[in-house]
Amino acid sequence: MTEKNYTLCASCPDRAGIIAAVSGFIAGHGGSICEASQHLDQVSGWFFMRYEIRADSMPLDLEAFREAFTPVADEFGMTWFATASERPKRVLILVSREDHCLADLLYRWRSGDLNFELAAVVSNHPDLESLAESHGIPFHHVPVRPDHRDEDFARISELYSHYRGECMVLARFMQILPPAMCAQYAGRIINIHHSFLPSFSGARPYQQAAERGVKIIGATCHYVTEELDSGPIIEQDVIRVHHGDTARSMAQQGRDVEKQVLSRGLRYHLEDRVLIHGNRTIVFA
């Protein structure tokens, strides 16, 4: 039984008194803080913070909390948001043919390990329909045709709107999203790339890794931006390989890392632990 909390995330130019103002605001309403994290980026002079507050410790519903906080935020020129932990985000998962990431997310969704509402699975191939539907999740087959990409991605956007999606997860989708779509849903599209970025971006990273003869391979969970495999990194991890490994055996072992890194990165996003700053992330893990 998770407690009902409000999560407040904010960033602004640094100056004296930010923590005092925010924590003073919370204390002024009797709020009980269960987690507080701050980070000052000394290079940019930007300040980031995240607070989890017990909802029932304050006589404010979320809307009232937001309204009451607005003057504080305005005073410091904050970019900010406040969410309620009991409301899971609605997620659309995009896949292609490989099922290991989808199967892992389905397990974590069903078991409650990750807290989200799984709206639908969309794929450019029909292969994973039965996997999705056996979990009672709508499956949409939207082929991505080289000569009708705009139309096809428009269809995916429609589905996202239709389901009132709040987050799109590319669980080995293997397609490059149109720039306009990346811009429209900036900070809400999460990809798992099967290499330790910036090494081996683009296609066939395990093949590249085998050819380069690296001794360690990895996976990267990042927000999708217009530039391929170059968005803000949320999480990475690696495993050791050796001379006996081929592109194929690396791919097999890599699947476990991909699943782990995607689920950890997605967890941070779902729990509002990630703040994006330029092309980097602050992750209050």
Q: What is the DSSP string of 188-206?
A: TEEEEESS-TTTT-SS-HH
Strand partners, 223: 190
- The smaller minimum CB distance to a copy of itself, of residues 33 and 186, is found at 33
- Nearest by Cα to 196 from 159, 229, 150, 171: 229
Name which of residues 125 to 154 contact a copy of itself (CB under 8 A).
134
Q: Which amino acid is at 147?
A: D
Q: Which stretch binds a copy of itself (CB under 8 A): 83-91, 143-151, 169-177, 242-250?
A: 242-250
- What is the set of active-site residues? 229
Among 6, 80, 163, 200, binds a copy of itself (CB under 8 A): 200
**x/- string (CB under 8 A) for a copy of itself, residues 156-195?**
----------------------------------------
CA distance 251 to 1: 38
DSSP secondary structure letter of residue 162? H
Q: Output the six-digit token pair for 274.
A: 């990630």
Contact status: 235 vs a copy of itself (CB under 8 A): yes
For 169, other C-beta atoms within 10 Å of its C-beta total 27
Contact stretch for a copy of itself (CB under 8 A) within 26-34, 87-95, 143-151, 153-161: 26-34
Q: Which residues pair with 245 in a beta bridge?
A: none
Q: Pseudo-torsion of CA 172, 178, 179, 183, nearest 10°? A: -70
d(CA 268, CA 276): 12
Binding mask 59-98 for a copy of itself (x = CB under 8 A): ----------------------------------------
Interaction site with a copy of itself (CB under 8 A): 14, 16-17, 19-21, 23-24, 26-28, 30-43, 57, 99-100, 103, 107, 111, 113, 134, 196-200, 211-216, 218, 232-238, 242-244, 246, 252, 255-256, 260, 263, 279-283, 285
